[in-house]
Amino acid sequence: MDSKVAKLINEQVNKEFYSAYLYLDFANYYAQAGLDGFENWYKVQAQEEMDHAMLFYQYLHNNGEKVTLEAIAKPDIELNDNLAPLKAGLEHEKYVTSLINDIYDAAFAVKDFRTMQMLDWFVKEQGEEEKNAEDMITKFELFGSDPKGLYMLNSELASRVHSAPSLVL
Q: In the complex with Mg ion, which residue's Cβ is closer, 39 or 49? A: 49
Candidates 1-9, 12-20, 22-30, 61-69 — which segment interacts with Mg ion by CB under 5 A?
12-20
Angstrom distance (rounded) from CA 99 to CA 102:
5
Task: State the Cα angle at 65 between 64 and 66, rounded to 5°.
Answer: 125
Interacting positions 16-45 with Mg ion (CB under 5 A): 16
Angstrom distance (rounded) from CA 9 to CA 112:
13
Q: In the complex with Mg ion, which residue's Cβ is closer, 15 or 153? A: 15
Angstrom distance (rounded) from CA 156 to CA 150:
10
Residue 169 C-beta: closest distance to Mg ion, Å: 15
Q: In the complex with Mg ion, which residue's Cβ is closer, 40 or 45? A: 45
Candidates 1-9, 27-35, 49-57, 98-106 — which segment interacts with Mg ion by CB under 5 A?
49-57
Q: Which H, E and C letters describe 60-105, residue by residue?
A: HHHCCCCCCCCCCCCCCCCCCCCCHHHHHHHHHHHHHHHHHHHHHH
By CB under 5 A, residue 52 contacts Mg ion: yes
Residue 63 C-beta: closest distance to Mg ion, Å: 20
Residue of closest CB approach to Mg ion: 52
Task: Residue count of the chain, please give it.
Answer: 169
Q: In the complex with Mg ion, which residue's Cβ is closer, 80 or 166? A: 166
Interface contacts to Mg ion, rule CB under 5 A: 16, 49, 52
